[in-house]
Structures are given as structure tokens and as C-alpha cells.
Structure 1
Amino acid sequence: MTATVSLLDVSTYLPGEPISAEYYAQFAESDELRENVMFRAPRYRHHVGPDETAIDMIERATAGLIERHGADTVLGADVLITHTQMPDVPFYGGGGGTAHRLGMKPNWVVDLHNGGCAAFLLGLKLARNLLASGEGHTALIAVAQNAAGQIFDQETIRRKAQSAIPGDGAAVGLVTLSDASPILDVECRTYGEYAGDMTVTSDPPRKWWQPGTGEGYIGFTESKITKVLARGNRQVPEVSYAVCDRIGVRPKDIDLLVTNQPNRLFLRNWRDALELPAERHVDTFDDCGNLFAAGIPVNLDRAIDDGRVKAGDTVLMAAFAHAGDFAGAAAVRWGGRG
């Protein structure tokens, strides 16, 4: 690529007041998976409001970009890439509605779903390629995680161990043709053989779209959890090392690691695999829970606000998705929030 493309900024939104672990403790029932490391609850998380849509969340997350870069930067973006964990309407994503709400008329509107928890990284790769190939000057990457307050807080599901882990949030990344904060490299890998390993189930069983009395939840078993742990422990370091090798930086010399945050075990194992101390790995799990695709940009935004990343630092972002069917990593030389 001849053109340099930068991740210029990120802006985020967390809905409502923090919800404590005690909220779920009052509903907890006997669950054979409750002691599993996958389901050790964070102290807090946020839930989307009862009438709050994914587009509402993205609009609120965009406010910071408008404040810092002006409304024309958002309105004039040539590319809009969106990902919603749970689309408000099953048959289509939120790209068109988001563009309309923000007053945009982009040449490209792309909804991503296969990226899952790594969707922000997939969006970075797509935006980088589109802008570098001449398809525009500016792109927005908008992600919304809205399943915690809608799926996991259902009356019969909130009793399960899995329900205390997710939190809701949204984020928007601003990508432009510039050398201010260059995207150094992006690695995305699809593991299609694992695509069917994450399932939605209910009691009594039915297809997700069929009417019935049982509320839907993720079909975890001990066997599936063991496989997911093994895949996540392997995939995130693999894509991270691939990016670091190409940009000529040893993983242990990365200034800041930003990952998705399924649970504390993954966070510890990933930084150990990359030989990084905890202070160079952003961890908001106890404040936000598992934010799915919003985890990376929310964590990056938090690190910027807290002064943990400064101009010239190399930031490595990495994540895996679902039961391990997708993984990605990206490196950015942060230029500062100008």
C-alpha cells in the first residue's frame, strides 16, 4: 500500500448506571458451570436501556468524535462499517439506519457480523484497504454490544452463571488517510471449522426464531468451554506474533496491549504469552464485564483518557470471536488525540 491510513480517534458510550455483581447473585440458582473460570463475574457491568436501540448507542458514542473533530468529519465520511452483537431487526444490520441517524451519505455502508468480538479489527482492515485503494478519505467503524441487558437479563436466563459476565457498550473509530496515527499492520484469520460450535438454545429446545416459552441463551457445556479456552489461548497470541513479526517489534516491547475481555483467565494468559506486565495490558473487566466487539475500542478509549498511551507508542490490539471461528490483531503507532 502506498497511502498511509490512520486510526485517528475512538469515542465510546456505556449505557446506564453500573450494575453490581450482587444484582445477579440474588437470582443465582444451582448451575453446574457456576464454578468454571469462564463465569467468574466482574464487579460491575452496564445494561442497554429497555427502549435503547443499537443505533441509539452508536449515535451517543459518536458524540466525542463530533466534539473533537467537528460534525463535518462524521457527516462527510466516505465509508461506514458497522457491527451489532444483536441487530434490532433480524433480517438486516444497522448500517443504513446508522448512516441516516448520523446524517451521513457514505459511498460504502458495510455490516459485519462474522467478526464477533474481533469485529473492530476486521473493520480496521476493511477501512484501511478501502481508503488506501482510493475509495475515500474517511471511514467510521461503529460497533455496538447490546446483548447483556436484552438476552442475559431475561427472567429465566439471569439465574445462569453465564449471565453475569456480559456488559453493554458502543464505540466508534475514526479512520482517515493520514500519517497522524498510522495503522502499521492488521492480521485477520478465519477458522471456519469452529463456526458451528457456538449455539443458542432454550428450555424446551426450539429454533431461535420459533415461538415458545423458553428464553434463549448460549449453549455452553464443559466440553465446549474447554475447547474455547484452548482456542482463545492459542489464537490471540498467534495473530499478535504475526503482526509483531511484520512490523519488526517483539511482543514484549509493545507499549500497550488492548484485547477483548471474555474473562480474567484469558487476560492473564494473553499477557503472559506476550511477556507483558499487567500495567501494559488494559483491563476493564471488573468495570464493564465482557463487552464483546466493543471491548477493544472501549479499552483503548479508557487508556487514552487515563494517559496510559502517549504519542509515538505502539499499540497492539488483538481478539478472538465466538467459539474461536475468527481472530484478529492490529498494530497502531498512536499519534495522540489532537
Structure 2
Amino acid sequence: MTTVSLTDVAGYLPGEPVPAEFYTEYPGAQDRLRDSPMFRIPPLRHHVAVGETNVDMVERAVAPLIERHGADEIRAVDVLLMHSQLPDTPFVGAGTEVARRLGLKPQWLIDVANAGCASFVHMLELARQILTTTDARTALICNAQSAAGQLFTQSDVRRLAQAAIPGDGCGVGYVTTSGSSPVLDLVTRHIAEHGGDMTAVLDDGRRYWEPGESQLRIGFTEAAVATVLERGNRLVPAVVTDLCRRLGISTGEIDLLVTNQPNRTFLRNWRETLRLPPHRHPDTFDSCGNLFGAAIPITLDHAIRAGRVKDGDLVVLGGFAHAGDYAGAAAIRWGPGRTAPRPST
């Protein structure tokens, strides 16, 4: 079988960090869910600028890949996979505009709408499948998250506990048919019985496209939060453990676990269940908040730049989506030369 590698990752965070006081000192900021472990507020997060789009962020995130691999190599990618956590335009995915902006002419171009916070793993699996079954040889996978500075800063939503948790950013991965940092295996689960459990709500009962004055928010209730906490605590350790079993190793042999970043409770429970010390489970939650789908590539990029990834390390990426309708994990043997020092961004 053709070897497929996650050859490189890069990330972009927009603007200056936004402090927690942006939410906690907002007039009328109160919510009975504020004491829930789901909504413990991170000190900082980033927001997209007014008018900044998902495509803008992808272009800025890809820039370091172009610097390291050359414009011609990146422009020649055969596969472009794109996930936008908050699409900029109805009906039209961002992938085609990303291709136009970057000068790409991919053979495969797919806008991925599912897998949410774990969509980087999902797209890595898609890229691997395409690269091993067709004549395609390179892929660019992109995760853009722009909901924090737009959806969650609305005047009514901003006072809710859910608003202070997300942050904006973009993470990208360069995937090649090579042995540079081989993808050893993946475990993914689409859990249909949990589909539709994550809802968007408008208090006047209208559909989001219908005219009105209420503001779109996530439909969190105490019961829904309890359900998400239970599923999330279980799903990520389950797929990571299953992945390690397939590799014939224990979870304690993971050198670096990079997950999505929903909240501190999940991060602590996942590493404790998997018996990993904190230094092997880097996170960006306190400085970036919940980056949704962009969290895995951005956090991995931060870990590499901080010198936390060594040549030959077993790196495991894992996460779950929405209210638990998807979970996935991927194992990568980080290759020589992938850990060269990078400038801070």
C-alpha cells in the first residue's frame, strides 16, 4: 500500500487576544449554565476581524507551508479538502474560492460539512483514501473557524456562558505520498444515533433563514450539557484506545496526544483515562479557547514550534464532534526533519 504522510502543518490566529472580560463584564452577562464544567472561561481567545473570511484565514495559514515547501509545490496539490465551521456564504462552500485565491487546480475538491471539531482527522482519512486509490499524490486539508467573533459576539448571545468559550483561527495540513511522517492507522466512527442532538436555536421559533430579530445560538440546556459531557469523556479515550490496540501498543506509549480543545474538563479527563502526563497532551485552550475543527492542526503546530515534538515520536490526533455524532483518532510517526525550528506566529 502507498505510504501517506502528514508532511507538515501550519496555523493562523487572527488579531490580538481577546480577554475574558469582554464577556464577563458585558452588561447582563448571566446564565445558569455559567458554573458548568463545559463553560469554564479561558483567559484569552482570538476573533476574526470585521470582513475577515474563512478564505482569508486559509490563505494566511497556508503561507508558512509555501515558505517551507515552495509556492510551486503547494499550488500543485491534487486534492483540496475544506471545512468551514461557520460558512461565509449560503449554498457555496469555501473550497473553490480557496483554490482560486491560492492558484490551485486540484483534481479533487471537497467541502466537508460533517465531523466538526474532529474534522481534521476525518479529512486526513479522506486524503489518505484518495491518495492510496487514485493517481493523486498530494493534498491540502484546511480547517477554518470563524464563529467566535461573529456568532458568539451578538449582543444577546454574548451574555450567555457558551459565548466566552470559542476562539477563531485556521489550521492546515499538507499530506503527501511519502514516508516523511507516515500515517500509521486511523480509527473513525460516525455515530448516527447521536445525529441532530446538537441544535441551533432562535428564541422566536423561526428558521435561521427567515426574517426576524432573535439571534442564533447553540441550544444548550442542562440536560444537553450533561449528555455531551458523558459522551465526550467516553468517546475520545475509546477511539484512541482502539487505535493503540490496532497498533499493538499501550496508550502509555503515545509520545504526544493532540486533541480538540472543548474545555479543561475534557482535556484533563482524556489524559487521565489514557494515563498520559500533562506534558504529553499539549493544549491551546487557555490562549485560544475552543477552536473547534481548527484546534488539532493549530495545537500540533504550536507543539512543534515549542520543541515538544521529536523525530520519531508517535503523535496521535483525536477528537469528537458536536454532541457525539463523530469520533476519530489518527496515529503518525513524526519523521526526521519535521521538527525543525519555526518562527512564532
Q: Does 1:213 align with 2:213?
A: yes
Find the aligned partners of 1:138 and 1:209 in 2 and give their Cα distance: 38
- Tell me the alpha carbon deviations over residues 270-329 of structure 1, each in whole angstroms, 9 at most, x when there is no partner: 001110001100111000000000000000000000000111000011000001001110
Q: Does 1:18 align with 2:17?
A: yes
Tell me what 1:44 maps to: 44
Shift of the alpha carbon at 1:73? 1.4
Tell me what 1:330 maps to: 330
Shift of the alpha carbon at 1:203? 2.3
Find the aligned partners of 1:208 and 1:322 in 2 and give their Cα distance: 19
Shift of the alpha carbon at 1:135? 3.2
Shift of the alpha carbon at 1:90? 1.6
Tell me what 1:124 maps to: 124
Tell me what 2:63 maps to: 63
Structure 1 residue runs without a partner (length 5+): none
Tell me what 1:143 maps to: 143
User: TM-score normalised to the size of structure 1?
Assistant: 0.98
Shift of the alpha carbon at 1:192? 1.0
Find the aligned partners of 2:165 and 2:236 in 1 and give their Cα distance: 20
Find the aligned partners of 1:86 and 1:249 in 2 and give their Cα distance: 38
Find the aligned partners of 1:211 and 1:188 in 2 and give their Cα distance: 39
- Tell me the alpha carbon deviations over residues 185-221 of structure 1, each in whole angstroms, 9 at most, x when there is no partner: 1111011111111111122221111111111000100
- SS across alignment from 1:323: coil
Shift of the alpha carbon at 1:41? 0.5
- SS across alignment from 2:159: coil
User: TM-score normalised to the size of structure 2?
Assistant: 0.96
Q: Does 1:152 align with 2:152?
A: yes
Shift of the alpha carbon at 1:74? 1.1
Find the aligned partners of 1:34 and 1:316 in 2 and give their Cα distance: 32
Contact 2:23 2:29 in 1 (8 A): no
Find the aligned partners of 1:135 and 1:266 in 2 and give their Cα distance: 40
Shift of the alpha carbon at 1:119? 0.5
Tell me what 2:100 maps to: 100
Find the aligned partners of 2:34 and 2:135 in 1 and give their Cα distance: 49
Tell me what 1:320 maps to: 320
Residue identity over aligned pairs, in percent, reads: 57
Tell me what 1:258 maps to: 258
- SS across alignment from 1:59: helix
Shift of the alpha carbon at 1:26? 1.2
Find the aligned partners of 2:182 and 2:70 in 1 and give their Cα distance: 21
- Tell me the alpha carbon deviations over residues 68-95 of structure 1, each in whole angstroms, 9 at most, x when there is no partner: 0000111000000000001111212111
Tell me what 2:202 maps to: 202
- SS across alignment from 1:143: strand
Tell me what 1:164 maps to: 164
Tell me what 2:268 maps to: 268
Find the aligned partners of 2:239 and 2:135 in 1 and give their Cα distance: 27
Q: How many residues align?
A: 337
User: Could you tell me which amino acid in structure 2 is paired with residue 159 of structure 1?
Assistant: R
User: Could you tell me which amino acid in structure 1 is paired with residue 10 of structure 2?
Assistant: S
Find the aligned partners of 1:100 and 1:251 in 2 and give their Cα distance: 42
- SS across alignment from 2:157: coil
Of stretches 27-36 and 89-98 in structure 1, the one that deviates more from structure 2 is 27-36
Shift of the alpha carbon at 1:115? 1.1
Of stretches 97-106 and 27-36 in structure 1, the one that deviates more from structure 2 is 27-36
User: Could you tell me which amino acid in structure 2 is paired with residue 6 of structure 1?
Assistant: S
Find the aligned partners of 1:217 and 1:186 in 2 and give their Cα distance: 33
After TM superposition, the structure 1 = structure 2 runs for residues 169-188 of structure 1, keeping only pairs within 5 Å, are 169-188=169-188
Find the aligned partners of 2:175 and 2:85 in 1 and give their Cα distance: 21
Find the aligned partners of 2:135 and 2:160 in 1 and give their Cα distance: 46
User: Could you tell me which amino acid in structure 1 is paired with residue 123 of structure 2?
Assistant: G
- SS across alignment from 1:9: strand
User: Could you tell me which amino acid in structure 1 is paired with residue 97 of structure 2?
Assistant: G
Q: Does 1:5 align with 2:17?
A: no
Find the aligned partners of 1:171 and 1:35 in 2 and give their Cα distance: 30
Tell me what 2:343 maps to: none
Find the aligned partners of 2:72 and 2:245 in 1 and give their Cα distance: 38
Structure 2 residue runs without a partner (length 5+): 341-345
Tell me what 1:53 maps to: 53
Contact 2:29 2:158 in 1 (8 A): no
- SS across alignment from 2:158: coil
User: Could you tell me which amino acid in structure 2 is paired with residue 154 of structure 1?
Assistant: Q
Find the aligned partners of 1:9 and 1:82 in 2 and give their Cα distance: 16
